[in-house]
Chain A
Amino acid sequence: MLPFLSKRLLVALLVCVTVSALSFGLMFLSGDPAIAIAGSGGRAEDAEAIRVAYGFDRPLIVQYLDWIGSALTGDLGQSIYFNVPVTEIIGNRVGVTLTLGFVSFIVALAIAVPLGVAAALRPNGWIDRIALVIAVSGQAIPSFWLGLMTIVVFGVWYGMVPISGAESWQGYILPVIVLSYYAIPELMRITRSGMIDVLATDYVRAARAKGLPMHLVITRHALRNAILPLVSLAAVQLGQLLSGSIVIESVFALNGLGRLAWESLLRSDLPVVQAIILILSLLYVVLTTLADVLNATLDPRLRGAS
């Protein structure tokens, strides 16, 4: 396990360096950041002053090392728009996004995995058909439309839940439903196909030949092997749920990171955008690394154990 782990962590570190360099480079994507800050109508002297004040006049590598050094100590710079530390702004918003993402993820898994297993046990059975309908509709209906429809039906018509904001936990109900609905199809499909493959293997037949009851064959022999591909997909999905909810956050007026990123882009508040991109990218790295480690604990072949 140890050689595997250290190799995997080294890869993760390299990805982190690359990702951080890319997010640093974003600052220069829109041309000269000093001009961007001064505004396109600004005077050349102002731009020059800003260039010196922000350190844009130094060599790129120095700027990068400086930026990464402060990032490591928890300083992600100042918001140009609010003129307060970026970490403070993000800190105020991150809770909503994390709650929404994790809860949606858990809900999606809790529905997708049992449904995928049940569908695999009887392909073309009625559960399988229902699962197929859910999967197809989940991929065909745009999320903003579904979001608006749930607001209209449950919020406006029936008044069962708040229609916007996250002041109480009820505010999360509709966004979680909508978000998890989009995560379910893929998770379910990979569970189902993995399970069908594994159920057809010789070792499952051999396990049954030992007299093990079906529920043990499924949980102990089949599921453990069938979820290997699911783990990797789930990591990516969780990353998407945590980072890609701009639409949902806007529809439900939740003040999360997605919305913050969008607003900051409109305001050309580059340090905030940069920080959000960095944080989300690192999150992906952490998640995929965790997925690989989890897979290695599930499958001894991956960690080269004997």
Chain B
Amino acid sequence: MTDMMLDIKNLQVSIPTDRGTLNAVRGVDLSISAGKTLCLVGESGCGKSLTATAIIGLLPRYAKVTTERFAMAGQDLTARTEARLAKMRGRDVAMIFQDPTSTLNPTLTIGRQLTEGVMRAERLSRKEADARAIEMLDRVGIANPAARLVQYPHGFSGGQRQRIMIASALMGRPKLLIADEPTTALDVTIQAQILALLDELQSDLGLSLLLITHDLGVVASIADEVAVMYAGRIAERAPVKDLFRAPQHPYTRGLLAAIPVPGQTPRGSELPAIPGRVPGLVGPLKGCAFRDRCSFAGEICGQDPVPGHAPAPGRFVECHKAAEVAA
């Protein structure tokens, strides 16, 4: 427990919509050890962003969030209050987002945006905060950082802006960094640089990293552990090598069908499309959400609850037919 940077049990997020309550996250368990990288993968709309946003406490007010257990950076947040989470944001946990062209405020200088959080939280003077901003910009590979502080975001390229966002996230020296598809909006060549940078910072600073991505090549090269999400639940969770070598959930198998071993999977390998569609998540769901698309599916798959198995230490899979799939 002590070396757990993030430990969540039964996270649920539901959102009221015109058609009824959308149960977008339906009982997610996640944990990340100190200094480790967890990649969260899954089809579009399966609830990855909502999960990440719930962890940092930035969901819109109308979203209903519950957890059975929620611990982060050594603090128990199960009775999560906005005030306590707000204190941790930027200091214990930081987040970077998908589109760096819109995450920087166009009307404020880079320096102001980098320093405003820590000047408040750590009561740093302007000079101390600037010094740290320069250090961080330097660290993320922004040339001539001191001169950049007085500039506005619109002078920077997408890749540079994402570097600046990373620097901004690091300003409060967080222990956990959440990155929600941080390279999706960038050119392919820039994507590789940004991911290499994240990987390097993660090991240099001993960060725990929760990385949401669609790119299995990225997963193969930087994850320690992988969680595969499907329709608001974790279908399978495993150390990266095990997952690629022996996927145990039919959905994971489908994702990895064309893809071999870690290290050999080229970057830019998007999740392959699996025939069929995700069931609607408005209202209750009975049985396994994947069964309509699953080649292993049988009568039993319509039943609740779908059993979870631990086929090996550190592994988890939720499937009625786990034994059959593994065989």
| A contact residues vs B (CB 8 Å cutoff) | 201-203, 205-213, 216, 220-221, 224-225, 298-301, 305-306
Contact = CB atoms under 8 A, between A and B. Distances in A.
Contacts of A216: 116, 120
B188 interface: no
A225 B106 contact: yes
Interface string B69-99: 0000000000000000011111100110101
Contacts, number: 80
Contacts of B89: 208-211
A221 B56 CA distance: 19
Contacts of B171: 210
B90 A203 contact: no
Going nearest first, the 3 A-B pairs with the smallest beta carbon separation are: A211-B90, A210-B117, A211-B89
B125 interface: no
B151 A212 contact: no
Interface residues of B, number: 33
A305 B152 contact: yes
Of A206, A213, A300, the most chain B CB neighbours within 10 A belong to A206
B99 A300 contact: no
A306 B156 CA distance: 9
B250 to A, nearest CB: 35
Of A202, A220, A298, A306, the most chain B CB neighbours within 10 A belong to A202
A203 B103 CA distance: 4
B91 A211 contact: yes
Given A201-B102, A202-B97, A211-B88, A306 B155 contact: yes
Contact of B107 (A206, A210, A213, A225): A225
A224 B116 CA distance: 15
A224 B106 CA distance: 10
Given A210-B89, A211-B86, A211-B90, A299 B106 contact: yes
**Majority secondary structure of chain A interface residues (helix, strand, loop or mixed):** helix
Contacts of A298: 107
Interface string B170-181: 011000000000
B154 interface: yes
Contacts of B117: 210-212
A56 to B, nearest CB: 54
Contact of A220 (B56, B102, B108): B108
Contacts of B165: 206
A306 B104 contact: no
Nearest to B104: A203
Contact of A211 (B87, B102, B103): B87
Contacts of B106: 203, 225, 299-301
A52 to B, nearest CB: 60
Given A211-B120, A221-B105, 6 more contacts: A203-B106, A206-B95, A207-B113, A209-B95, A209-B169, A301-B154
A209 B58 contact: yes
A36 B152 CA distance: 60
Nearest to B87: A211
B168 interface: yes
A221 B113 CA distance: 10
B121 interface: yes
A221 B108 contact: yes
Nearest to A228: B107
Contact of B86 (A213, A221, A299, A306): A213
Contacts of A209: 56, 58, 89-90, 94-95, 169
Contacts of A202: 97, 99, 102-103
Contact of B152 (A203, A210, A225, A306): A306
A305 B105 CA distance: 15
Contacts of A203: 102-106
A53 B187 CA distance: 76
B105 to A, nearest CB: 4
A205 B152 contact: no
Interface string B42-65: 000000000000001010000000
A211 B104 CA distance: 15
Contacts of B168: 206, 210
B1 to A, nearest CB: 25
B210 to A, nearest CB: 13
Contacts of B86: 211, 213
Contacts of B152: 300-301, 305-306
A212 B58 contact: no
Nearest to B171: A210
A201 B105 CA distance: 9
A211 B105 contact: no
Contacts of A224: 107-108
B154 A210 contact: no
A305 B165 CA distance: 21
Contacts of B104: 203, 206
Contacts of A205: 58, 97, 103
A213 B172 CA distance: 15
8 contacts: A205-B97, A207-B105, A210-B116, A210-B172, A211-B87, A213-B86, A225-B107, A306-B154
Contacts of B103: 202-203, 205-206
Given A203-B105, A306-B152, A211 B97 contact: no
A155 to B, nearest CB: 45
Contacts of A220: 108, 116
